[in-house]
């Protein structure tokens, strides 16, 4: 692999793809949303349990490419225990991280492990894959407990 | 820099590489053919480009590019309008292209060749004009599981509007149409059958003659989606006896944004116009409009003149390449690719129909097609990944997406090897 591709498929992404964290249904979720990426057929179901504005549990199910699966997996590890306002700040940071136009502005330091997704900038057609889980998360919050389906198209 | 790859089976002399005549020596001289496609000779990510996405769109030979450029450099004007020299020339080239295409597809009259934006618009035209006038509540339109969205959505919309029923002929696990089920679906309520000639995802060649024979027993109109047909198979619409045959220029080595709807003249004459505008009328007043005769009736507005000229040049190129020769080469390449891919552990080919063209859809255990596509691109190999605008077909095979390699006569065994080597690398990364 050349260095650009190596940046996209870092070991941490391949690991999370192979052994995703929090990959399960949640029976007592308070928020739930589905995300679709029609271009590649990715489907994602996200479950959240929010108590007193704090995310106390988060999990997902679905199928997708390595980038979308690893992104969902890492997102769940990152969101667990965060307050909703903290989570929204990370959502905004992640958008900047993977968007080509914002190159230079993004604060990689605060993003921790999520910074591995900066490599996706070199692959515009794959940005949707990285961002699907996060859009699904936002959609779950916006739904306020109602069923919700979003699409990256 | 040229990184052209000659096929092992062939010997390509220097004279054969001067391929501007468009005639390839027999046996099939792939190096000479490749020399006529400028875009093929480049590196992608430092690797020689292996363009294996021909079912999405084909590359263009120099004769097509030249035909379009010459038109814009020497003859460009609007058609059917002015009396000046350039307009006469443009009109003559445009109508000449129509006659040339008529001959290439074996239509009885050039009036049966309608220029459209592509297969999608051709099918929409049939649905909106013919379909809307013949369909009533409770009537049925028959398509198949392997259809492209462009041969599903227009019929779905029409059936919804009319309260008609869309019926879908199943396919078997290999990707062959269930002809018995098809025969069983035909009845007094069936008004239209619309089937692809060749599946863009599976490569299945449908038994059109049998389909048309069965439909005729019930006096049902037959529409053929020929988008994948023309690039691989010699068509004669008269012998085939279909009512409509729709195809795109860009999949058949012509420019994008142009296509054709062939229709039987007596049917076209009875059909109402599709779009209104200039060029499709005989006379206009605010009290009464008289429509033009076919084909002008269906060609409102200034068409893609250069595209039509380019398409005629492309079909002429295919004719000279010889439909009696290049499909055999593509079949050999397909057999080789099938053989090589099947040896890869965990790879499953989706679509193994009895009769198929050079399209291979496949999945690999635990590796998503999208990752395969990005990584193959890094190896210089261009493939398509996703649902290929055939979501119901993906559902039929219970896969979210596939990787599809689709071959043209300008592809080589070395490019198949490049694909296989790329896949082996990817399997290592994801192991």
Domains identified in chain B and CATH numbers: 14-52+324-429 (3.90.1150.10), 65-320 (3.40.640.10)
Judge whether B58 and B39 are in contact, CB under 8 Å: no
Contacting residues of B for A123, CB less than 8 Å apart: 374
What pLDDT was estimated at residue A150? 72
Q: Residue A91 maps to which CATH number? A: 3.90.1010.10
Q: How far is A104 from chain B (nearest CA, A)?
A: 25
pLDDT in tens, B108-164: 999 999 999 999 999 999 999 999 999 999 999 999 999 999 999 999 999 999 999
Q: What percent of chain A has pLDDT over 90?
A: 57
pLDDT of residue B26: 61
Q: How many helices (H) and strands (E) does chain B have?
A: 16, 17
Catalytic residue among B196, B221, B242, B389, which? B389
A42 touches chain B (CB under 8 A): yes
Per-residue pLDDT for A121 more than 90? no
Q: First and final CA of chain B: distance in angstroms?
A: 36
Specify the range with the lowest mean pLDDT, choosing from A107-111, B203-207, B275-279, B391-395: A107-111
Residues from chain A contacting residue B368 (CB–CB below 8 Å): 40, 63-66, 69
Inform me whether the C-beta atom of residue B385 falls under 8 Å from chain A C-beta atoms.
yes
Mean pLDDT, residues A2-11 taken together: 84
Closest residue to A14, CB basis, from B386, B400, B429: B429
pLDDT above 90: residue A78: yes
Residue A107 has pLDDT above 70, yes or no: no
- Whether the pLDDT of residue B4 is over 70: the answer is no
Residue of chain B nearest A42, judged by CA positions: B400
What interface predicted TM-score (ipTM) does this complex get?
0.86
A5 with B375: Cβ contact below 8 A: yes
Interface contacts A/B by beta carbons within 8 Å: 57
pLDDT at B10: 39
pLDDT at B19: 39
pLDDT digits (tens, 9 = 90+) for B215-231: 999 999 999 999 999 99
- Contact check, Cβ <8 Å, A65/B369: yes
**Is there a contact between B374 and A5 if contact means CB atoms under 8 Å apart?**
yes
Interval B184-209: pLDDT, tens: 999 999 999 999 999 999 999 999 99
- Which of A15, A40, A64, A126 would best serve as a mutation to test chain B binding (most B beta carbons within 10 A)? A40
Contact B386 A41 (CB under 8 A): yes
Per-residue pLDDT of A19-47, as tens digits, reads: 999 999 999 999 999 998 877 778 899 99
pLDDT band at B238 (very low <50, low <70, confident <90, very high): very high
pLDDT at position A101? 61
| pLDDT > 70? residue B22 | no
| Chain A contact set for B386 (CB, 8 A) | 39-41
pLDDT interval class at B167 (50, 70, 90) = very high
Q: A24 vs chain B: nearest CA distance in angstroms?
A: 18
**Structure pTM?**
0.90
Strands (DSSP E) contained in A25-153 are: 31-37, 42-51, 54-63, 149-151
* Chain B contact set for A64 (CB, 8 A): 368, 370, 400
What's the CA gap between B224 and B246, in Å, rounded? Answer: 6
CB-based contact A14 B401, cutoff 8 Å: no
Percentage of chain B surpassing pLDDT 90? 91
- Chain A CB within 8 Å of residue B400 CB: yes
State the DSSP string of B1-19: -------TT----HHHH-G
Q: Which has the minimum average pLDDT: A88-97, B260-269, B303-312?
A: A88-97
Cβ-Cβ contacts under 8 Å, A14 against chain B: 429-430
Residue among A1, A66, A120, A123 with most chain B CBs within 10 A, to mutate = A66
Q: Which pLDDT score, from 0 to 100, does residue A116 have?
A: 87
Mean pLDDT, chain B, rounded, equals 93
Higher pLDDT, B40 or A98: B40
Q: Say if the Cβ atoms of A66 and B46 lie within 8 Å.
A: no
Domain that holds residue A101: 3-151
Q: Look at A102-106, B2-6, B240-244 and tell me which has the smallest mean pLDDT.
A: B2-6
CA distance B323 to B103: 14
Of residues B45, B378, B394, nearest to A41 (C-beta): B394
pLDDT at residue B12, rounded to an integer = 38
How far is CA B53 from its chain centroid?
13
Q: Where would I find the H helices in A1-153?
A: 3-8, 11-18, 66-79, 84-98, 127-143
Find the closest chain B residue to A69 by CA distance.
B368
In this predicted structure, what is the pLDDT of residue A7?
82
pLDDT at B354: 94
CA proximity to A75, closest of A44, A41, A109, A38? A44
pLDDT recorded at residue B148: 97
Task: Say whether pLDDT at B1 is over 80.
Answer: no
Q: Which pLDDT does position B305 carry in this prediction?
A: 98
**For chain A, how many structural domains are there in total?**
1
Q: What is the pLDDT of residues B35-94, one digit of tens each?
A: 999 999 999 999 999 999 999 999 999 999 999 999 999 999 999 878 899 999 999 999
Q: Which of B366, B374, B386 sits opposite A39 (nearest CB)?
A: B386
Say whether A108 sits in a helix, a strand or coil.
coil
Residues 124-153 of A with CB under 8 A from B: 125-126, 129
Beta bridge partners of A33: A46
How does pLDDT run across B406-415, given as a tens digit for each residue?
Answer: 999 999 999 9
pLDDT at A104 over 80: no
Can you give the pLDDT at residue B2? 43
Most confident of A2-16, B304-318, B382-396: B304-318
How many angstroms separate the CA atoms of B162 and B154, rounded?
Answer: 12
Mean pLDDT of chain A: 87
Q: Is the pLDDT of residue A113 over 90?
A: no
Q: Where do we find the tokens 């696990």?
A: B173
Q: Which residue of B has its CA nearest to A122?
A: B374
A67 touches chain B (CB under 8 A): yes
Task: Please measure the distance between the N-terminal and C-terminal CA atoms of chain A and give it in whole angstroms.
Answer: 29
A35, A41, A122, A124: best mutation site toward chain B, by most B Cβ within 10 Å?
Answer: A41
Q: What is the maximum alpha-carbon separation in chain A?
A: 47
Return the top range by mean pLDDT from A7-16, B14-23, B95-104: B95-104
Is residue B221 part of the annotated active site? The answer reads no
**pLDDT-derived band at A152, boundaries 50, 70, 90:** low
Across the interface, of B366, B378, B401, the residue whose CB is closest to A40 is: B401
Contact in structure between B305 and B98 (CB atoms under 8 Å)? no
């Amino acid at each position: 692999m050349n260095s650009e591709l190596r940046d996209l498929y870092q070991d941490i992404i391949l690991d999370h793809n192979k052994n995703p964290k929090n990959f399960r249904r949640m029976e007592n979720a308070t928020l739930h949303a589905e995300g679709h990426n029609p271009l590649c057929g990715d489907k994602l179901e996200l479950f959240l349990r929010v108590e007193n504005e704090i995310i106390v549990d988060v999990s997902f199910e679905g199928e997708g490419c390595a980038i979308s699966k690893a992104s969902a997996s890492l997102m769940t590890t990152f969101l667990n225990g965060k307050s909703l306002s903290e989570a929204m700040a990370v959502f905004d940071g992640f958008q900047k991280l993977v968007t080509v136009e914002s190159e230079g502005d993004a604060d990689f330091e605060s993003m921790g492990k999520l910074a591995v997704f900066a490599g996706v900038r070199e692959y515009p057609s794959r940005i949707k894959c990285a961002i699907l889980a996060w859009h699904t998360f936002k959609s779950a919050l916006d739904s306020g407990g109602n069923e919700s389906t979003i699409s990256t198209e | 820099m040229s990184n052209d790859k000659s096929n092992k089976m062939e010997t390509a002399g220097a004279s054969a590489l001067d391929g501007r005549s468009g005639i390839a020596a027999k046996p099939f001289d792939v190096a000479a053919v490749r020399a006529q496609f400028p875009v093929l000779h480049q590196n992608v990510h430092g690797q020689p480009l292996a363009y294996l996405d021909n079912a999405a769109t084909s590359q263009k030979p120099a004769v097509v590019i030249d035909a379009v450029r010459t038109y814009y450099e020497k003859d460009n004007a609007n058609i059917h309008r002015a009396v000046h020299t350039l307009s006469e020339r443009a009109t003559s080239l445009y109508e000449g292209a129509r006659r040339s295409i008529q001959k290439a597809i074996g239509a009885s009259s050039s009036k049966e060749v309608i220029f459209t934006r592509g297969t999608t618009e051709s099918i929409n035209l049939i649905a909106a004009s013919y379909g809307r006038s013949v369909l009533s509540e409770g009537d049925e339109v028959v398509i198949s599981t392997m259809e492209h969205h462009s041969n599903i959505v227009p019929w779905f919309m029409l059936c919804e509007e009319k309260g008609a029923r869309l019926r879908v002929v199943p396919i078997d696990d290999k990707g062959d149409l269930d002809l018995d089920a098809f025969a069983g679906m035909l009845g007094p309520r069936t008004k239209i059958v619309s089937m692809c000639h060749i599946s863009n995802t599976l490569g299945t060649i449908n038994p059109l003659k049998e389909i048309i024979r069965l439909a005729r027993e019930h006096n049902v109109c037959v529409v053929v989606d020929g988008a994948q047909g023309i690039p691989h198979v010699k068509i004669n619409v008269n012998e085939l006896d279909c009512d409509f045959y729709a195809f795109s220029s860009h999949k058949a080595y012509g420019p994008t944004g142009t296509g054709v709807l062939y229709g039987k003249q007596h049917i076209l004459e009875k059909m109402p116009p599709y779009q209104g505008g200039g060029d499709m009328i005989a006379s206009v007043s605010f009290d009464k409009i008289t429509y033009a005769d076919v084909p002008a009736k269906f060609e409102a507005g200034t068409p893609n003149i250069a595209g039509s000229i380019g398409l005629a040049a492309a079909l002429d190129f295919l004719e000279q390449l010889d439909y009696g020769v290049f499909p055999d080469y593509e079949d050999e390449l397909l057999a080789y690719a099938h053989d090589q891919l099947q040896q890869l552990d965990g790879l499953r080919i989706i679509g193994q129909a009895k009769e198929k063209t050079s399209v291979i859809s496949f999945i690999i255990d635990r590796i998503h097609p999208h990752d395969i596509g990005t990584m193959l691109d890094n190896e210089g190999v261009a493939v398509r990944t996703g649902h290929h605008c055939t979501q119901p077909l993906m559902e039929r095979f219970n896969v979210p997406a596939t990787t599809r390699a689709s071959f043209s006569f300008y592809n080589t065994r070395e490019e198949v090897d490049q694909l296989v080597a790329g896949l082996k690398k990817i399997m290592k990364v994801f192991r």
